[in-house]
Amino acid sequence: TKISLRSLEAIERGDFSKLPGGIYNTSYIRQYARAIDYDESVILSHYHQATRTAASPGGKEPRQSFPGGIHPLSSPAGGS
């Protein structure tokens, strides 16, 4: 994908506050799902649930991991 490493890592951590916002978030999450061959609807459902929780009174942007079966991307080529 053409998504920055910072944004990819934020998606994997469930730290959606690090994403640019608006429709970019769902676009990035869809691209991420396609890149790892995962069901977009499952990941988007998790994202919407997490951000709905954050929108509740006193809620903070949640830091949640995606549901089982999704593993962080390996380190970039040449990285350790």
Nearest to 13 by CA among 70, 77, 54, 76: 70
Give me the count of residues in the chain. Answer: 80
Q: What is the pLDDT along the chain (80 residues), one digit of tens a residue?
A: 789 999 999 999 989 999 999 899 999 999 999 999 999 999 999 999 988 876 655 555 445 555 555 666 654 554 44
pTM: 0.66
